[in-house]
Amino acid sequence: MLSLDAMRTVATAALFLLVFTAIRCLLAALAARSEAASRLGHRRRAGLLDRAERVVRAIAAEPAARLALMLESARAGIGPAAFVGLSALLAAAGGAAGALAIQTAKGAIVAAMLFGGLPYIVIRMTLTHRQMQSRIDFLPAVELFYQSYLTTGGRQVRVALGRMIEERRLAGPLLPVFEQLYINLSVRGDDEASLRVFASAVGHVWADYFANLLRVALADGAPIADNLKELIGDMRRAARADQQERNRLLEIRLANFSPILFLALFIGINIRYNPEGAWRYYVLDPHGRDMLLNAAALIFASFLMGIWLSRRKL
């Protein structure tokens, strides 16, 4: 005779096998039914998936195009995918650093946002700085192109650009911009995209007018010598207003960097007169570290505001 414990073990095993077999049969039946239903509704699901994919692509297309345009205009040397990956990596590193340093959820989130947005701030401010530099030199550059365009008989835009670049009469920050335009027009094969990159790299209304003239000449082959002459005259008459706009942009840049200077001055004075107390508060005390994090967040917000104002002025 089997003992009571052995009988319980055998019964438990038999019950387990019975339940396992029932579940397996049930899953097999459900799989067969699902397969039959999938065959009937394959076209419908495929249509829904295709429509959903098109909707997602349409939503993400415009931000991706803007990001690609910004990166190419700034000559960043990386694509949108690499930029997003770098931002995500820095955000993860910033979140980990904030969690370790501040030891709060707020510290991790704010630090992740600051580190993740750092690549955008750097590239956007670099592009804005180059656009500010190009405002003064754009009129001489258009005049040089006008002279080169006349020497080609008033027809060949690409030849005029190539001659202007080869003669090296164009100096300053606009030389790489016109070189990029010439290379894109010669190699890329998409004149519209090349002109958008050029207008974005220069970044003001005169560049848009100039790009529109080049667009007409490239698309229709129409001469634009008279239009270029009128554009040069308008730019000369508006030179004083352009200088005033540039001065306003410089004021915005100074206002962006002033919080950093004041914070460094404040911390420097504290370290100068009380180094031990400053070390304990800014490094060892959680409240001091949180204060520095709040200051960094406000400085980051001021840079974003400065970029927004600069883009409106440009």
pLDDT averaged over every residue in the chain: 78
Is the confidence at residue 216, as pLDDT, over 80?
A: yes
pLDDT for 249 equals: 72
pLDDT in tens, 54-74: 554 556 677 788 888 888 888
Answer yes or no: is pLDDT of 181 > 60: yes
Residue 218 has pLDDT above 80, yes or no: yes
Length of the chain: 314
Cα 27 to Cα 18: distance, rounded to the nearest angstrom? 14
d(C-alpha 209, C-alpha 214), whole Å: 9
End-to-end CA distance of the chain: 96
Rg (CA), the chain: 32
Tell me phi and psi for residue 152, to 5 degrees. Answer: -90, 5
Amino acid making up residue 287: H
More confident residue, 308 or 183: 183
Q: Give a yes or no: residue 196 inside a domain.
A: yes
| Number of structural domains the chain divides into | 1
Element (DSSP H or E) covering residue 103: none
With respect to residue 195, please indicate whether it lies within any of the assigned structural domains.
yes
Residue with tokens 């220069």: 202
* Whole-angstrom distance, CA of residue 223 vs CA of residue 226: 8
Asked if residue 51 is part of any domain, the answer here is no
188 domain residue, yes or no: yes
pLDDT for residue 35: 52
Share of the chain above pLDDT 90, in %: 3
- Answer whether residue 229 shows pLDDT above 60: yes
pLDDT score, position 56: 46
Tens-place pLDDT, residues 13-49: 555 555 556 556 655 555 555 555 545 444 444 455 4
Who contacts 291 (Cβ-Cβ below 8 Å, separation ≥6)?
A: 282
Asked whether residue 44 is domain-assigned, the answer is no
Answer whether residue 4 shows pLDDT above 60: no
- Per-residue tokens: 252: 């915005």
| Structural domain that includes position 156 | 134-238
Dihedral Cα 211, 212, 214, 218, nearest 10 deg: 130
In the prediction, which pLDDT does 1 show?
47
Give the pLDDT band (50/70/90) at residue 272. confident
Domain-located, residue 157: yes
pLDDT of amino acid 3: 56
The pTM (predicted TM-score) of the whole model is 0.70
In angstroms, rounded to a whole number, what is the distance separating the alpha carbons of residues 59 and 245?
A: 35
Contact 304, 121 (CB under 8 A): yes
In a domain, 17, yes or no: no
Q: For residue range 113-150, what is the model confidence (pLDDT) as tens digits?
A: 999 998 998 888 888 888 887 877 888 888 888 888 88
d(CA 133, CA 308): 18
22 in any annotated domain: no
pLDDT at 169 over 60: yes
Picking from 305, 313, 141, 303, the residue whose alpha carbon sits closest to that of residue 242 is 313
Listed ranges 164-173, 190-199, 218-227, 302-311; the one with the highest mean pLDDT: 190-199
Stretch 199-209: mean pLDDT, rounded?
A: 87
pLDDT the model gives residue 38 = 46
